[in-house]
């Protein structure tokens, strides 16, 4: 390798190539020679994604100039060192790639590197633990008993009961988490391991009820290997796809086993930030059973909204809806198809919930089930998703899940679609008969704004998708009727009239019409002023449908500081909750311990 970090002709030892590049990186960082540092990165396209280690933020530098700016602002205090390879160098997709280990002045981290032509294409640096404040795991686990005679010594149960009785009353949590689903539970578990006093507020009666209370047929479409929570992986006999009630039971058991402080049957009424004291004033109503309840004022320093990655249910307002004599409900309120045997059922929407509910209604003997597709939908077969996730490492006998998570996070959002597009093209070709069957039935398919499929749909809020677990066949063979390319013109007492003049009898109308932005929870629980201050939540600013610009480089406001001091958003699927719960927990732990956390490149407010 030449002194400028470029691969020399004839060099064949990939490990030596990467080690040499890493040596040049370390030298440039130690000397704070930023001008030389940036020459180690590809001039045409390069990325440095940092997760706290340098920026105390989630930030991606997308060019040499942006890397230089990031280093000029952070390098002197971060003082990175100890760069090592953490595994074997692999050659994949025309790039050499390897996991890394490193340290900073206050933390330890892991990373991931991709080299092309001897220059860095992508670099990920992620903080994994704070020095002196490591998680209580492995050799650092608690003893569980005091091997000494102490008068009045409390047992584990007595100490646990005392903690439950005092937190929120005699002592204040450092962090209040509003929402007790997977996001709130995963974060609380991380905080527990870091000795950060946290309290979950959940209006449902039991942990896991956010799953139990959904429609009866709901089952995870992501496989078990992708869905582990921190510290406690699912047992080896766990089904590949988790039924919703089984998932609810797991979340409740997990909450108990991880000793989380969880206030169920408790509703958050309002949150106000006291800037003078630097604390939140959180008013909650806690039920103790029956009609008895009490209003409690909590004063945490940090407030986490873990209310799901979306906002309030979207329920369209159609003319005549108030005259309908049957049942109308949003998909979030639909629980069972059992009552609709022999009835005329219409589901408005064509994404995951719509497909699940339609197939459930058909299975239980509805006289006719009709899906109203108002916009195009991306569909992937479930086995296709299984194969792709297994290829990425999420499968039986795969690498440790945190390592796979790191590899997944190492792909910058700017180029994530370039990884996805070839896969989508292969799928479309290999499964052409499947898609042809849907198209012949009138189902309008799409592959995302740029052909990247789920990436566009999920991360960019770019419309709907469905991972097929059987409903597509029912649509193709006509068992589930389909109306596409039309809109609802009017709802009558016993029917729906569409824009093409057709009329459909209906006893049940389910609005599987999605949800608003997570920002709505900030408006409801705090104020519209604060909601406007932090701006949109989720989305990348990719200038696609539902994801207006400008480009943000990272998901808006998720898992990182916001424009409102002490306010955080936590959410996502189970994989994201597992991975990013550590990111949020480390930020909160550092602030608890008084460790300086200068945030680099705090995003500007986006009111789009």
Q: Is the full-model pTM beyond 0.85?
A: yes
Kindly state the average pLDDT of the residues 565-569.
Answer: 98
- pLDDT of res. 234: 97
**Token pair for residue 371?**
């899906």
Instruction: Assign domain 14-130 to its CATH architecture.
Output: Roll (3.10)
- pLDDT of res. 193: 97
**Token pair for residue 576?**
């994201």
Pick the CATH number of 317-513 from 3.60.15.10, 3.50.50.60, 3.30.1330.10, 3.30.420.40: 3.50.50.60
Instruction: List residues bridging with 124 in a β-sheet.
Output: 49, 112
- Give residue-wise pLDDT tens across range 432-476: 999 999 999 999 999 988 888 887 778 877 668 899 999 999 999
3-state secondary structure of 591: helix
> Residue written as tokens 């309002």?
270
Kindly state the average pLDDT of the residues 55-83.
Answer: 98
- Close Cβ partners of 65 (under 8 Å, ≥ 6 residues apart): 38
Assess whether pLDDT exceeds 90 at residue 259.
yes
3-state secondary structure of 155: coil
Assess whether pLDDT exceeds 50 at residue 8.
no
- Give residue-wise pLDDT tens across range 318-343: 999 999 999 999 999 998 999 999 99
- Give residue-wise pLDDT tens across range 524-564: 999 999 999 999 999 999 887 778 889 999 999 999 999 99
Q: What percent of the chain has pLDDT over 70?
A: 97
CB contact at 8 A, 272 and 526: yes
What is the distance between the alpha carbons of residues 183 and 558, in angstroms, rounded to a whole number? 12
Distance of alpha carbon 515 from the chain centroid: 16
> How large is the angle between the packed helices 182-193 and 574-592, nearest 10 degrees?
40
Instruction: Assign domain 160-311+517-592 to its CATH architecture.
Output: 3-Layer(bba) Sandwich (3.50)
Which sequence spans correspond to the domains of the chain? 14-130, 160-311+517-592, 317-513
- Among 471, 430, 464, 468, CA closest to 447: 464
DSSP H helical ranges for 167-290: 182-193, 209-212, 244-257
Q: What is the 3-state secondary structure (H, E, C) of 381-447?
A: EHHHHHHHHHHHCCCCCCCCHHHHHHHHHCCCHHHHHHHHHHHHHHHHHHCHHHHHHHHHCCCCECC
Comparing 160-311+517-592 with 317-513, is the CATH topology the same?
yes
153 confidence band (pLDDT: 50, 70, 90): confident
Assess whether pLDDT exceeds 80 at residue 4.
no
Q: What is the DSSP string of 27-55?
A: HHHHHT-HHHHHTTB-SSS-EEEEESTTT
Kindly state the average pLDDT of the residues 403-411.
Answer: 96
- pLDDT of res. 608: 55
């Amino acid at each position: 390798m030449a002194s400028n970090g470029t691969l020399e002709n004839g060099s064949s030892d990939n490990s030596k190539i990467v080690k040499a590049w890493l040596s040049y990186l370390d030298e440039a960082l130690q000397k704070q020679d930023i001008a030389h540092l940036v020459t180690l990165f590809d001039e045409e396209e390069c990325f440095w994604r940092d997760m706290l280690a340098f920026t105390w933020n989630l930030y991606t530098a997308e060019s040499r100039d942006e890397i230089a700016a990031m280093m000029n602002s952070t390098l002197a205090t971060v003082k990175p060192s100890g760069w090592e390879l953490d595994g074997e160098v692999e050659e994949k997709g025309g790039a050499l790639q390897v996991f890394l280990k490193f340290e900073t002045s206050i933390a330890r981290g892991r990373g991931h590197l991709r080299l092309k032509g001897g220059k860095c294409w992508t670099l990920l640096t992620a903080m994994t633990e704070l020095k002196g404040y490591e998680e209580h795991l492995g050799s650092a686990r608690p003893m569980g008993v005091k091997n000494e005679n102490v008068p009045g010594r409390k047992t584990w149960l007595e100490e646990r009961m005392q903690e439950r009785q005092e937190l929120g009353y005699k002592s204040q949590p450092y962090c209040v988490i509003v929402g007790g689903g997977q996001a709130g539970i995963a974060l609380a578990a991380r905080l527990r391991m870091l000795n950060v006093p946290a309290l979950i507020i959940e209006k449902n009666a039991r942990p896991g009820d956010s799953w139990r209370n959904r429609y009866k047929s709901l089952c995870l479409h992501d496989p078990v290997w992708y869905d582990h929570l921190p510290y406690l992986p699912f047992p080896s006999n766990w089904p590949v796809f988790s039924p919703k009630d089984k998932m609810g039971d797991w979340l409740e058991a997990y909450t108990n086993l991880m000793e989380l402080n969880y206030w169920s049957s408790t509703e958050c009424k309002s949150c106000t930030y006291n800037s003078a004291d630097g604390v939140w004033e959180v008013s909650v109503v806690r039920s103790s059973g029956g009609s008895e309840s009490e209003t409690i004022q909590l004063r945490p320093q940090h407030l986490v909204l873990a209310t799901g990655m979306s906002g309030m249910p979207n329920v369209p307002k159609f003319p005549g809806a108030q005259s309908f004599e049957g049942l109308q409900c949003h998909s979030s309120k639909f629980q069972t198809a059992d009552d609709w045997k022999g009835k005329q059922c219409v589901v408005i929407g064509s994404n995951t919930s719509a497909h699940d509910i339609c197939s459930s209604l058909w299975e239980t003997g509805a006289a006719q089930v009709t899906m109203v597709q108002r916009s195009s939908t991306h569909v992937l077969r479930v086995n296709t998703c299984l194969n792709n996730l297994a290829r990425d490492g999420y499968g039986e006998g795969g690498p440790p899940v945190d390592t796979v998570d790191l590899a997944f996070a190492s792909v910058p959002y700017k180029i994530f679609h370039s990884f996805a597009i070839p896969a989508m093209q292969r799928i479309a070709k290999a499964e052409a008969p499947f898609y042809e069957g849907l198209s012949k039935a009138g189902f309008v398919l799409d592959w995302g704004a740029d052909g990247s499929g789920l990436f566009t749909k999920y991360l960019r809020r770019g419309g709907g998708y469905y991972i097929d677990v059987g409903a597509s066949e029912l649509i193709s063979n006509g068992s589930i009727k389909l109306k596409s390319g039309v809109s609802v013109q009017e709802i009558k007492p016993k029917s729906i009239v569409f824009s093409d003049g057709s009329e459909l009898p209906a006893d049940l109308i389910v609005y599987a019409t999605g949800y608003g932005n997570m920002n709505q929870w900030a408006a409801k629980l705090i104020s519209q002023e604060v909601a406007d201050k932090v701006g949109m939540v989720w989305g990348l600013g990719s200038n696609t449908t539902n994801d207006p610009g400008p480009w943000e480089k990272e998901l808006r406001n998720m898992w990182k500081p916001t424009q409102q001091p002490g306010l955080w958003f936590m959410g996502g699927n189970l994989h994201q909750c597992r991975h990013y719960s550590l990111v949020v927990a480390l930020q909160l732990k550092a602030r608890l311990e008084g460790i300086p956390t200068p945030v680099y490149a705090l995003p500007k407010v986006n009111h789009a």
